[in-house]
Amino acid sequence: MRLALAAAILAAGTAVVGSAVAQTPNGKLVVVTSFSKDVTDPFKKAFEKAYPGLTVEMQNRNTNAAVKYLDETKGNNTTDLFWASAPDAFEALKGRGRLEKYKPQATGIPEKIGDYPVNDPDGHYLGFAASGYGIMWNTRYVAAHKLPEPKDWSDLAKPAYFDHVAIAAPSRSGTTHLTLEAILQGEGWARGWRTLKEIGGNLREVTERSFGVPDGVNSGQFGYGIVIDFFGFSAQGAGFPVKFVYPTVTTIVPANIAIVKDAPNTPAAKAFVEFLLSPQGQEILFAPSIRRLPVNPEVYAKAPEGMPNPFKFKWSGGGGFKFNSDLSESRGAVVDALYDQLVTFQLAALKKATKAIHDAEARLAAGPNEQAGALIAEARELIAAMPITDTQAVASDIAAAFKGGSGRDKAPRQAEFEQAWGKFAADNYAKALAKAEEAAKLLK
């Protein structure tokens, strides 16, 4: 008891002293981050050099684990900063009141890149680097298989790409989720899903983590990967034989940093944020192991060869759509579950049907046949068909089931929707396969 009292007095004392010397940050700064050591180390070194009294402790966790960690430790928080890519992770933490508001002093950073606001409009998290989505490929693989170089998403749906493409499951990768949304919003719900499932039929793998895709392209396990740009650039920086391209429909999204609520060392946290947004910090993003796009347009004067400047790039080409991040956020769980049920967990059936359609179409091209052509068209429709519309995706019953039920007795549960969608896909793919095979017989 006496000990506790003494500790309390001591703690109060240090708190007073702490606020008195708050001007020069010192002590320990704890950063929970999803970034790899190659990304965090250069910043840690430069920052510690700029503030000799400070040591930075980087805790590397994947985004999901980091969010869970911050949630579970809120009772006795020891983390100062959360530093990661996916805006939805920040959005989730912000929604649970885990992030502190902060208005940075740094200047020269525009409000928007493309259609995406750089900072959280409420000021809970701040963008420090921009990332676009695109396609990377292994040049040796592509040369060995005599495959083409893609320019757009729709290229990946062509028969030549069958069994050569990889994507991370959107439910597992915040960045892939945004890629999906960019396609769905750019092409519209029905056409967007058609594209996604046509690409889905050509997939080699749906990986369970974002880095699994560039890792596999780097090794040559698969030819093409749908990735965030810096995976392509930093693989080039490391010497791997890969290339990267931005398709016409894409979006650019900031990677973020936020000060955690009840941070033990707020002055140091603020200093790190300012450092990150300063020209000096922004230039570190060009390091070969990082290769991310700075949000300060001025530093692009020092960009290395091959790094694009997003401020000179026409991001939302094609339909010229506006990326709606609220829509992306509100239907996020439903879109991800749909993708898992329609593509990820039905991959074998989807691929089989797709292959049969490709084969039948090849024969059709050699000798036209009206009946067979109709059958193939039907098969394609069956694959593209969706169990729900975009209005239903945000309708109250599904949203409620995914958020935790409406509380009503007979309200459908998430598991029931998922089972229905999975069955819908399995049945349709089986029918599509039958029709494509029937068409192929007619074309013998």
**Interface of this chain with another protein, residues 143 to 162, rule: CB under 8 A:** 144
With CA atoms as reference, report the closest residue to 70 among 263, 252, 213, 247.
263
Binder to another protein among 76, 305, 367, 368 (CB under 8 A)?
Answer: 76
With CA atoms as reference, report the closest residue to 253 among 90, 113, 123.
113
Site string for another protein, 340-379 (x = CB under 8 A): -x--xx----------------------------------
Binder to another protein among 59, 154, 330, 369 (CB under 8 A)?
Answer: 59
Chain positions 94 to 133 lying near another protein, rule: CB under 8 A, are: none
Give me 341's structure tokens. Answer: 């049920």
Least distance CB 424 / another protein (angstroms): 11
- E-assigned strand segments in 280-431: 293-294
Binder to another protein among 85, 138, 185, 278 (CB under 8 A)?
Answer: 138
Q: Which is nearer to another protein, 376 or 433 (CB)?
A: 433
Least distance CB 320 / another protein (angstroms): 33
Q: Which is nearer to another protein, 191 or 413 (CB)?
A: 413
Least distance CB 268 / another protein (angstroms): 16
Is 9 a binder of another protein (CB under 8 A)? no
Binder to another protein among 99, 109, 268, 333 (CB under 8 A)?
Answer: 333
Spatial contact of 233 and 286, defined as CB atoms under 8 Å apart:
no
Q: How many helices (H) and strands (E) does the chain have?
A: 18, 13
From residue 323, how far is each of 45, 253, 272, 327, 389 by CA, in Å?
Answer: 36, 10, 30, 9, 19
Site string for another protein, 18-37 (x = CB under 8 A): ------------x----xxx
Binder to another protein among 117, 123, 241, 308 (CB under 8 A)?
Answer: 241
State the Cα–Cα distance between residues 233 and 235, nearest whole angstrom.
Answer: 5
Give me 375's structure tokens. Answer: 């059958």
With CA atoms as reference, report the closest residue to 37 among 13, 68, 59.
59
Pairing label, strands 27-33, 112-113? unpaired
State the Cα–Cα distance between residues 35 and 204, nearest whole angstrom.
Answer: 26
Binder to another protein among 193, 231, 286, 339 (CB under 8 A)?
Answer: 231
DSSP letter for 318, please: T
Binder to another protein among 101, 302, 322, 413 (CB under 8 A)?
Answer: 413
Least distance CB 360 / another protein (angstroms): 25
Least distance CB 410 / another protein (angstroms): 11
Binder to another protein among 23, 72, 121, 368 (CB under 8 A)?
Answer: 72
Chain positions 204 to 223 lying near another protein, rule: CB under 8 A, are: 205-208, 211, 214-216, 218-221
Name the percent of the chain in helix, strand, coil, to the closest 5: 55, 15, 30
State the Cα–Cα distance between residues 307 and 429, nearest whole angstrom.
Answer: 41
Measured in residues, the chain has a length of 444
Pairing label, strands 165-168, 203-207? parallel
Binder to another protein among 414, 431, 437, 442 (CB under 8 A)?
Answer: 414
Secondary structure (3-state) at 140: helix
Specify the residue for token string 């490709």.
358
Binder to another protein among 426, 431, 434, 442 (CB under 8 A)?
Answer: 426
Q: Which is nearer to another protein, 263 or 439 (CB)?
A: 263
Q: Which is nearer to another protein, 107 or 289 (CB)?
A: 289
The gap from C-alpha 113 to its chain's centroid, in whole angstroms, comes to: 17
Spatial contact of 106 and 56, defined as CB atoms under 8 Å apart:
no
**Beta-carbon count within 10 A of 113 CB:** 24
With CA atoms as reference, report the closest residue to 360 among 438, 260, 266, 273.
438
Q: Which is nearer to another protein, 106 or 142 (CB)?
A: 142
Q: How many residues form the binding site for another protein (CB under 8 A)? A: 74
Binder to another protein among 149, 381, 397, 416 (CB under 8 A)?
Answer: 416
Chain positions 285 to 314 lying near another protein, rule: CB under 8 A, are: 288-289
Spatial contact of 10 and 47, defined as CB atoms under 8 Å apart:
no
Q: Which is nearer to another protein, 102 or 222 (CB)?
A: 222
Q: Which is nearer to another protein, 115 or 336 (CB)?
A: 336
Chain positions 379 to 408 lying near another protein, rule: CB under 8 A, are: 400, 404-407
Binder to another protein among 12, 24, 45, 68 (CB under 8 A)?
Answer: 68
129: which strand partners? 255, 294
Give me 433's structure tokens. Answer: 């396969």
